[in-house]
Amino acid sequence: MALTDQCSVISIQMVVANYPSGFALDPSVDGSGQTDKYIGDSDAVEEAKGKTIFEKNNQLEKSKKRKREKNTDASDVDGYLGPWAKYKDEETVSKPSKTIFEKNNQLEKSKKRKREKNTDASDVDGYLGPWAKYKDEETVSKPSEEEQKELDEILAKRAKAGKQVEEKTVEEKTTLHIKDAYDYQGRSFLHPPQDVGVNLRSEEPPEKCFLPKKLIHTWSGHTKGIAAIRWFPRFAHLIMSAGMDSKIKLWQVYKERQCVRTYSGHKQAVRDVCFNNTGTEFLSCGYDRYCKLWDTETGECKARFTSRKVPYCIKFHPEEDKQHLFVAGTSDKKIVCWDIRSGEIIQEYDRHLGPVNTITFIDQNRRFVSTSDDKSLRVWEWDVPVDFKYIADPSMHSMPAVTLSPNGKWLACQSMDNKICVFNALNRMKFIRKKTFTGHMVAGYACGIDFSPEMSYISCGDADGKVYIWDWRSTKLYSKFKAHDDVCISLLWHPHETSKMATAGWDGVIKYWD
Q: What is the pLDDT of residues 200-253, one digit of tens each?
A: 999 999 999 999 999 999 999 999 999 999 999 999 999 999 999 999 999 999
Output the pLDDT for position 173. 94
pLDDT at residue 351 tops 60: yes
pLDDT at residue 33 tops 70: no
Instruction: Please give the backbone phi and psi of residue 462, each rounded to the nearest 5 degrees, phi first.
Output: -145, 180
Output the pLDDT for position 310. 96
In this structure, the strands spanning 367-372 and 215-220 are unpaired
The dihedral through the CA atoms of 207, 213, 216, 219 has a sign that is: positive
pLDDT at residue 163 tops 70: no
Q: What is the pLDDT of residues 390-441, one digit of tens each?
A: 999 999 999 999 999 999 999 999 999 999 999 999 988 999 999 999 999 9
- What is the full DSSP assignment across 121-145? TT-TTT--GGGPPBTT--SS----H
Which residues have a Cβ under 8 Å from the Cβ of 410 and sit 6 or more positions away? Answer: 404, 422, 423, 424, 425, 432, 435
pTM (2 d.p.): 0.69
Q: How far is Cα 330 from Cα 371, in angstroms, rounded to an integer? A: 11
Q: How far is Cα 411 from Cα 422, in angstroms, rounded to an integer? A: 6
pLDDT at residue 32 tops 70: no
Residue (of 471, 514, 469) closest to 488 by Cα position? 469
Do 350 and 358 contact (CB within 8 A), yes or no?
no
Q: What is the pLDDT of residues 465-479, one digit of tens each?
A: 999 999 999 999 999
Output the pLDDT for position 136. 79
Output the pLDDT for position 12. 60
Output the pLDDT for position 137. 79
pLDDT confidence band for 79 (50 / 70 / 90)? confident
Which residues have a Cβ under 8 Å from the Cβ of 461 and sit 6 or more positions away? Answer: 447, 448, 467, 468, 483, 484, 487, 488, 489, 490, 491, 503, 505
Q: What is the pLDDT of residues 175-202, one digit of tens each?
A: 999 998 898 989 999 999 998 889 999 9
- What is the full DSSP assignment across 422-438? EEETTTTTEEEEEEEEE
Higher pLDDT, 369 or 35: 369
Output the pLDDT for position 1. 52
Average pLDDT over all residues of the chain: 88
pLDDT at residue 47 tops 90: no
The gap from C-alpha 112 to its chain's centroid, in whole angstroms, comes to: 44
Output the pLDDT for position 69. 78
pLDDT confidence band for 121 (50 / 70 / 90)? confident
Q: What share of the chain is helix, strand, coil (3-state, %, to 5)?
A: 15, 35, 50
Q: What is the pLDDT of residues 9-30, one digit of tens each?
A: 566 666 555 555 677 777 666 6
Output the pLDDT for position 223. 95
Q: Count Cα atoms within 13 angstroms, Cβ side, for 149.
A: 2
Share of the chain above pLDDT 90, in %: 65
Exposure string for 413-446, b = 16+ CB within 10 A, e = fewer: bbbbebbbbbbebeeebebeeebebeebebeebb
Output the pLDDT for position 286. 96
Residue (of 380, 371, 369, 361) closest to 317 by Cα position? 361
pLDDT at residue 501 tops 60: yes
Output the pLDDT for position 355. 96
